[in-house]
Amino acid sequence: MNLLRRVAPPVLLGIFALVAWELTVSLGRIAPFILPAPSAIWHELVAQRQNVWEAALASGLNALVGLAWGTVAGVLAAMAASRFRLLSEVSIPLAAVLNALPIIALAPILNNMFESTSSVPRRLVAGIIVFFPVFINTLRGLREVDPTHRELMTSYAAGGWTFTRLVRLPGALPFVFTGLRQASSLAVIAAVVAEYFGGLQDGLGSRITSAAAFTAYPRAWAFVVGACLLGLFFYLATLLLERIAMPWKTRLIS
């Protein structure tokens, strides 16, 4: 009953929006190249399901690799920056610059740096996008140590790596996941958008552009739906991972 009450409103709203969209297109006689009806998009999605699936796998793998290396780099950089004061003073503005960098400017350049059959440029772009939110959030988490914990560990004569391993890293975990939740959707967006600028043409991004170039708009939309589902999948997977990684929080909810 409680679950129903929580799930029902967004589902009803979604259905209402789809019906309104369908009616607007069919009754308003909107040309399909401007806005295709949901039924037409659904038709294409079913017809192209094999292609959508394969393209989503390719883009998903790129996003995953980018997410993985961006996260590892972000966490390691945050650990280094929290350890050495000078490094953190230098690295925070540097990371801000990196974040301000539009991937649109980066993707074509990276594509030219590697072979046209290489997946590396897209994975690099995704990783760079992921790096920033993970780095900033983790750094904040590592810096916020409960003063009582600090005194306690001093009384145990535990410092250095022991202190980091037992207190700072687990304490920073909620912050890491805050960053990761933002980063997971961003990684998918980056992997898809990077394909608009050349490189290997096997992902969702390139399918969207080529379908649009052939004026097959419902097909283009079908791949957009695929990209949306992929982003959602990444986000939910991160939420699940968060639950698994922090059982002390999960137990409170149940």
Partner 1 sequence: MTAVSLDKVTKVFNQGRPDEVTALSDINLEIGAGRFVSLIGPSGCGKSTLLRLIADLIPASSGTVEVAGKPATRARLDQEYGIAFQQAGLFEWRTVQRNVELPLELRGASRAERKARATEMLALVGLADFAGHYPAQLSGGMQQRVAIARALAVHPPLLLMDEPFGALDEMTRERLQSELLAICAKTGTSTVFVTHSISEAVFLSDQVVVMSPRPGRITAIIDVDLPARDDAARQSPAYFEAITAVRRALRGTDNASASTDAVAAPSSRTPGSASPAATAP
Interface with partner 1 (CB under 8 A): 146, 148-149, 151-152, 154-158, 162, 166-167, 170-171, 173, 246-248, 251-252
- Let me know: does 201 contact 195? Beta carbons within 8 Å: yes
Rounded least distance, CB 252 to partner 1, Å: 6
Rounded least distance, CB 79 to partner 1, Å: 18
Rounded least distance, CB 156 to partner 1, Å: 5
Nearer Cβ to partner 1, position 55 or 167? 167
| Closest alpha carbon to 79 in 67, 68, 69, 91 | 91
Rounded least distance, CB 129 to partner 1, Å: 29
Can you tell me the distance from the alpha carbon of 222 to that of 51, in angstroms, rounded to the nearest whole number? 10
Separation of CA 186 from chain center: 3
| Closest alpha carbon to 204 in 45, 37, 70 | 45
**DSSP single-letter state for residue 157:** T
Q: What's the token pair of residue 33?
A: 């190249």
Nearer Cβ to partner 1, position 112 or 154? 154
Can you tell me the distance from the alpha carbon of 123 to that of 69, in angstroms, rounded to the nearest whole number? 9
Strand, coil or helix: 36: coil
Beta-strand runs (E) in the chain: none
Nearer Cβ to partner 1, position 102 or 147? 147
Nearer Cβ to partner 1, position 163 or 196? 163
Nearer Cβ to partner 1, position 28 or 247? 247
Question: Across the chain, which distance is largest between two alpha carbons, in Å?
Answer: 76
Rounded least distance, CB 249 to partner 1, Å: 8
Nearer Cβ to partner 1, position 34 or 252? 252
Rounded least distance, CB 175 to partner 1, Å: 13
